[in-house]
Amino acid sequence: MTEQEKQKSYDDEEKRIQENVSKIKHRIAVFSGKGGVGKTTVSINLAYALQLEGFSTGILDADITGPNVAKMLNVQSELIFLNEKIIPFEKYGAKMMSMASMIKNGQPLIWRGPMRSKLINQFLADVDWGELDFLIADLPPGTGDEILTISQQMKPDYAAVVTTPQEVSIMDAERAINMAKKLEIPYIGVVENMAGFVCPHCSAVIELFGVGGGEKLANKYSVPFLGSIPIDIDARILSDSGKPIVLEKPNCEVAAVFKSIAFSINSICNMDIEQSK
């Protein structure tokens, strides 16, 4: 392929990305400074909490080498192509795309950063997302290439930074906030996951990972603290069986926090639209 042909291919892809993104009203990037903080759980339940409010939603699994969204929604089907477009999966009324649908279970994806970014570009350019109110991007941990690609191409208007109360998690989440600021994402909020465990026998609250770290971090950077999500055994059980807790147990405490987070993010995004009129 000549340099001219490469440039044309790049320009065509950019055009398709912009056409797709223009049909999505709000784009939310879910960050985490480190792995294991429940970022995918937050992404999925945030999407369905917004859907419960009547919004059309999609979930883009941008964690290319560690995709978990398909497992947590029990999606095992193969990709469908129609008119040179990839048809996203639909589960419980939300659209979803994940690398997990393109590889065998347990198969490692040993790709360098540019290859991972190229696939994210394809998810944005060639997946037929249609018109959506919200697209939630579940990002990999850290501050690597995929996050740069999402920020440049998807142009998120909100970054939800997920942390646990533990100090080492707060330290990494601080880096994620600073990256979101440098990438000039308009709005940033902090979600504290695994905030405490309520004993099912005595109802005592056990602070396994400490307490209050997420709120202190949000205050330090003058960004909204979106809420503390307690540990719920049912959330883990339901995730393993592919069922979001906000749909299966809509009246539990965890679901209530997710709904509150969704309300806060939607309020900010719609406020931005009103101010731009």
Residue 198's pLDDT band (boundaries 50, 70, 90)?
confident
Question: Residue 119: which of 107, 129, 127 has the closest Cα?
Answer: 127
**SS3 of the chain:** CCHHHHHHHHHHHHHHHHHHHCCEEEEEEEEECCCCCCHHHHHHHHHHHHHHCCCCEEEEECCCCCCCHHHHCCCCCCCEEECCEEECEEECCEEEECHHHHCCCCCCCCCCHHHHHHHHHHHHHHECCCCEEEEEEECCCCCCHHHHHHHHHHCCCEEEEEECCCHHHHHHHHHHHHHHHHCCCCEEEEEEEEEEEECCCCCCEECCCCCCHHHHHHHHCCCCEEEEEEECHHHHHHHHCCCCHHHHCCCCHHHHHHHHHHHHHHHHHHHHHHHHC
Q: Looking at the domain assignment, is residue 9 inside a domain?
A: no
Mean pLDDT, to the nearest integer, of 196-204? 75
Query: By percentage, how much of the chain surpasses pLDDT 90?
Result: 65
Residue 88's pLDDT band (boundaries 50, 70, 90)?
very high
Mean pLDDT, to the nearest integer, of 226-239? 92
Residue 171's pLDDT band (boundaries 50, 70, 90)?
very high
Residue-level pLDDT at 277: 44
Q: Looking at the domain assignment, is residue 4 inside a domain?
A: no
Q: Looking at the domain assignment, is residue 1 inside a domain?
A: no
Q: CATH number, domain at 178?
A: 3.40.50.300
Q: Which residue has the higher pLDDT, 247 or 5?
A: 247
pLDDT at 126 over 90: yes
Which residues have C-beta within 8 Å of that of residue 60, sequence separation ≥ 6? 96, 97, 123, 124, 135, 136, 137, 138, 154
pLDDT at 106 over 90: no
pLDDT at 203 over 70: no
Residue-level pLDDT at 96: 96
User: What residue type is 215 in one-letter code?
Assistant: E
Mean pLDDT, to the nearest integer, of 70-82? 88
Mean pLDDT, to the nearest integer, of 49-63? 96
Query: By percentage, how much of the chain surpasses pLDDT 70?
Result: 97
pLDDT at 276 over 80: no
Q: Looking at the domain assignment, is residue 21 inside a domain?
A: no
> Domain tally for the chain?
1
- Which of 51-60, 202-211, 238-247 is predicted least confidently? 202-211
Q: Looking at the domain assignment, is residue 135 inside a domain?
A: yes
pLDDT at 65 over 80: yes
Q: Looking at the domain assignment, is residue 12 inside a domain?
A: no
**Enclosing domain of residue 118:** 27-276
